[in-house]
Amino acid sequence: MSDALVARPAPRCMLCGGEGRLLYDGLRDRLFSAPGEWSLRLCTDRGCGLMWLDPMPEEADIHKAYASYYTHVEAPARGGAMARLFAAAKRGYLANQFGYGEGVSIAERLAGLLPWLYPGRPAELDFSVMWLARGARGRLLDVGAGSGWLVAQMQALGWRAEGLDFDPAAVERARARARGLTMHCGALAEQRFPDASFDAIAMSHSIEHVHDPVAWLAEAYRILCPGGRLALATPNSASMLHRRFREHWFALDPPRHLQLFNRAALDTALRRAGFTRQRQFTSVRDADGAYLGSRAIRRRGRFDMTAPRPALARFVARMVQLREVARSARDPDAGEDLVALAVK
C-alpha cells in the first residue's frame, strides 16, 4: 500500500460554487510530514471568502494525514504550588464568568480575578468550556473530541458529556486516559443519534477537518434539542497572524485543514445548515502558540509541537498575543480563533 494520499482536483468553492483563485502553492505538511504537495485556493466571490485545499484528499485516505497527530501524544502533567494556584484561579474564573460555582470557595472566586492580569488567559479559560455556561447544562456532545480533554472537563463540571472522533487512535487514547469517558468513533452521521438528542454540541477545531461542513453542521442541527446550543471554534483566516505570516501561518496545516473560514464563510455554512440565530466573534486564544508555530515554519519549514519552548520564546509569544489583544479592540476580526455560538 502506498503512503501517498489519494486526492482529487477541487477548483470550485463548496459553499457558493464560485471560482477559486490560487492563494498559495507548493505547501507541504509542516507538522507531521504527511506526504504530498498542496495548494490553497481562495473563493473570489465577494461576500464568501472560503479557503480550501486543492487537490482535496479523498475521504477514504485522509486517515494517513493523522498517523502521528498531536492528539496521540500525552502532554506532561504539571505540579507544585503554581499549578495549584492556576487550578484555583481557573475554578474561580469559571464560577465568576460561567456560573460553575458548586463547591467554589470565596478565596477561589477572588483567585478567579487573577486571569484578567495575564493577557490571553481569559480567552483560554473561555475556550476550556467552549463558552458554555452552567445554565445550559445537560447532555453534551463534543464533535472532534481528539484526546477527550473537553469531555473530561465538562463532565467534571456536571455535564453529561460524550465525545466523538473519526480517528480511532485518538478515541483509544481518550478511553485509556480517563475511565468512564463516553467516546464514539466514526463520522457524525454514522452515529444515527435520534433527533433532539443533545442540549449542546461543541465543535472545537474540527469543522476545518471535515469534507462536507454544511452537511456536518446540518446533522448537528438535527440532533440538537430545540433551544440547544452549538459552540464552534475554528482558525480565523482573517486573523492578524495569517495576515502577517501568509503561507507560513501555522493554522493552514495542510493537508489536515481542508478548508479555512472567515466570518462570512462560516455565517453562510451555519445558515445553510439551519442555524439562523448565532453570533460570531474572534478570540486571541493560542495566538502565542500560533506565533511560535508560524515563526518556526517561516524559518525552518516545519514546527515540532512537542519540542520544549524556551522561556524567552514564550515571553515574546505572549507579547505577540498581547498585541493581538490590543489589535482586537479596534479590529474585531484580528483574533486567531473564529468562534460561533448558535442556538437551534
Q: Which residues bind Zn ion (CB under 5 A)?
A: 13, 15-16, 18, 43, 45, 48, 50
Mark residue 276 as left, alpha or beta (left: phi above 0; alpha: psi -120 to 50; beta: remaining): alpha
What are 278's three cell numbers? 448565532
Contacts of residue 294, Cβ cutoff 8 Å, sequence gap at least 6: 241, 244, 245, 248, 249, 250
Q: How far is the CB of 210 from Zn ion (least distance, A)?
A: 17
Q: How far is the CB of 265 from Zn ion (least distance, A)?
A: 7
Q: How far is the CB of 50 from Zn ion (least distance, A)?
A: 5
Distances (CA, A) of 298 to 83, 292, 294, 295: 33, 10, 6, 5
Q: How far is the CB of 264 from Zn ion (least distance, A)?
A: 9
Minimum CB distance to Zn ion smaller for 50 or for 270: 50
Minimum CB distance to Zn ion smaller for 50 or for 181: 50
Separation of alpha carbons 344 and 331, rounded Å = 29
Q: How far is the CB of 62 from Zn ion (least distance, A)?
A: 22
Minimum CB distance to Zn ion smaller for 46 or for 330: 46
Q: In which residue are the cell numbers 486526492 written?
A: 7
Separation of alpha carbons 203 and 5, rounded Å = 25
Sign of dihedral through CA atoms 289, 64, 231, 340?
A: positive
Minimum CB distance to Zn ion smaller for 43 or for 65: 43
Q: How far is the CB of 13 from Zn ion (least distance, A)?
A: 3
What are 43's three cell numbers? 473563493
Quick check: 126 and 145 in contact, CB under 8 A?
Answer: no
Q: In which residue are the cell numbers 461543541 written?
A: 202
Q: How far is the CB of 56 from Zn ion (least distance, A)?
A: 15
Q: How far is the CB of 218 from Zn ion (least distance, A)?
A: 18
What are 190's three cell numbers? 454514522
Minimum CB distance to Zn ion smaller for 12 or for 298: 12
Minimum CB distance to Zn ion smaller for 15 or for 223: 15
Minimum CB distance to Zn ion smaller for 16 or for 218: 16
Minimum CB distance to Zn ion smaller for 15 or for 220: 15
Could you tell me which of 310, 290, 311 has the C-alpha nearest to residue 243?
290
The order of strands in the sheet holding 38-43 is 20-27, 38-43, 51-54, 259-260
State how beta strands 259-260 and 182-185 pair: unpaired
